């Protein structure tokens, strides 16, 4: 065997070993990905609905026009992606938590109805309180204030008369 043949054979062996190592690494990565629930769900759908992920027949629209159509809708894609991202960040309660919420819903409804009744009662009491305060002001505060004004006027008048009498005596 010539040196070139040996080098070629060595190169093939190295490539084969490297491919085997890459294949093993790829298999490990695929195994890790297969543990992801989303990936498992996609693989399940691919197995049960093989046509689901296949491209449809070519529509005859030129590639450049399809690209223009897609790029023209870029803002919608971004908006939808942002909405989906925000939805994906919402924590979904466990089944037990959801069931507990369903179980306490009648109690929540009762408390809500009681709250509405209390709000109506508070509204009625507020209206009655305003009426009582208005009546108290009209019947008690206003007359007392008027009496105080009358007394003040009479006092002022009396003081003026006293001063006038004193001035007349001094003259």
What token pair was written down for 160? 């003026």
CA distance 151 to 21: 111
The residue range of the domain holding 142 is 107-171
User: Does some domain include residue 8?
Assistant: no
Tell me the per-residue pLDDT of 105-158, one tens digit each, with 9 for 90 and over. 999 999 999 999 999 999 999 999 999 999 999 999 999 999 999 999 999 999
Tell me the per-residue pLDDT of 17-42, one tens digit each, with 9 for 90 and over. 776 777 777 788 888 888 888 888 88
Question: Are the beta carbons of 83 and 77 closer than 8 angstroms?
Answer: no
User: Does some domain include residue 139?
Assistant: yes
User: Does some domain include residue 65?
Assistant: no
User: Does some domain include residue 23?
Assistant: no
User: Does some domain include residue 37?
Assistant: no
């Amino acid at each position: 065997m010539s040196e070139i043949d040996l080098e070629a054979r060595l190169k093939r062996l190295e490539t084969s070993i490297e491919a085997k190592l890459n294949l093993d690494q790829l298999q490990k990565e695929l195994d890790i990905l297969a543990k992801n629930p989303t990936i498992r769900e996609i693989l399940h759908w691919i197995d049960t609905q093989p046509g689901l992920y296949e491209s449809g027949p070519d529509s005859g629209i030129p590639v450049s026009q399809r690209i223009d159509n897609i790029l023209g809708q870029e803002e919608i894609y971004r908006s939808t992606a942002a909405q989906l991202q925000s939805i994906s960040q919402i924590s979904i309660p466990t089944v037990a938590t959801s069931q507990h919420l369903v179980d306490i819903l009648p109690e929540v409804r009762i408390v809500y109805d009681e709250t509405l009744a209390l709000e109506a009662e508070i509204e009625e009491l507020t209206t009655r309180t305003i009426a009582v305060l208005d009546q108290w002001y009209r019947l008690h505060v206003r007359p007392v204030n008027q009496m105080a004004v009358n007394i003040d006027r009479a006092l002022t008048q009396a003081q003026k008369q006293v001063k006038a009498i004193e001035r007349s005596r001094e003259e």
